[in-house]
Amino acid sequence: MRKSVLTLSALLLISVFACTKNPFTGKQDFNIVSNDQIFPSAFQQYNEFLKENKVIKGTADAQRVVTVGQKIKAAAEKYLNSKGYQGYLNGYQWEYNLVDSKEVNAWCMPGGKIVVYSGILPITKDEAGLATVMGHEVAHALLNHGAQRMSAAQLQQLGAAGVSVAASGQSEQTQQILMQAYGLGSEVGGMLPFSRKHETEADEVGLTLMAIAGYNPDKAVEFWQRMEANSGGSAPPEFLSTHPSGATRIAHIKSLTSSAKAEAAKFGVKY
């Protein structure tokens, strides 16, 4: 009993003291992993990835990835400076690469290391579509979503340890049932909604960044509509997915375009 109480106390203390205010959302985020901890590993993994994959250089598409990425980075700096967060991007080592792959995807590692797969270019179609994708991925990095996921995973593991200790006096069958119930409950009721929340936040911030960068946020709706058409409706039910459904995402982005334009107008960008 004493061990379970100590475990629960540890969970509560971590939850209370590991929250920081996010400059983009204004909310308190749970994060126990610092940039100093995660950036070096992210940079190393990125370099290894580039060595193991075909990076496209010297083409119009490759240059477009760099151009859009630089504009999104500049938009992020403008936004953060306007909010009094000068120096927030210290430690970021921005890099933008186009990789030859049929995969319809893109990502940004903590610290600003970006990869766009060539397979997504037929869907992005133009700079605005690419800005939608890159703005979204950069937003994940700026919102520290990677560190937050690592923090949540550690908390989930600590919770599992607490359940194990609390159930230690039960039969082996009961212990297995309790652990399975915790695993399913923490995943469907905790980790998956947490991931969908991150996707929604990245959509919101990414839309603002692309608007400040000079790309009409209305184009983001068109991109996600093309993405939904490309998926062929094969996604799992939303409550079992790491991402919002296509319909949910599109409706939400439509509701945000006006506010993104208004934010861009503060920087002299009008649509």
Please report the pLDDT score of residue 6 as a whole number.
40
Closest C-alpha among 196, 212, 214, 213 to residue 252: 196
| Average pLDDT value for residue range 73-101 | 94
pTM for the predicted model, two decimal places: 0.73
Crossing angle of helices 192-212 and 145-166, rounded to 10°: 170
φ/ψ bin of 91: left (φ > 0), alpha (ψ from -120 to 50), beta (otherwise):
left
The catalytically annotated residue of 52, 95, 103, 137 is: 137
Give the residue, 47 or 188, on which the prediction is more confident. Answer: 47
Q: How confident is the model at residue 70 (pLDDT cuts 50, 70, 90)?
A: very high
Please report the pLDDT score of residue 101 as a whole number.
96
Give the residue, 35 or 10, on which the prediction is more confident. Answer: 35
Residue 202, pLDDT > 60, answer yes
Q: Are 270 and 264 in contact (CB under 8 A)?
A: yes
Please report the pLDDT score of residue 61 as a whole number.
98
Residue 264, pLDDT > 70, answer yes
Q: What is the DSSP letter of 119?
A: G
Question: Is 137 a known active-site residue?
Answer: yes
Lookup result for tokens 């009094």: 84
Q: How confident is the model at residue 147 (pLDDT cuts 50, 70, 90)?
A: low
Give the residue, 31 or 14, on which the prediction is more confident. Answer: 31
Give the residue, 3 or 76, on which the prediction is more confident. Answer: 76
Three-class secondary structure assignment of 179-229: HHHHHHHHHHHHHHHHHHHHHHHHHHHHHHHHHHCCCCCHHHHHHHHHHHH
Segment of 6-15, 20-29, 88-97 carrying the highest mean pLDDT: 88-97
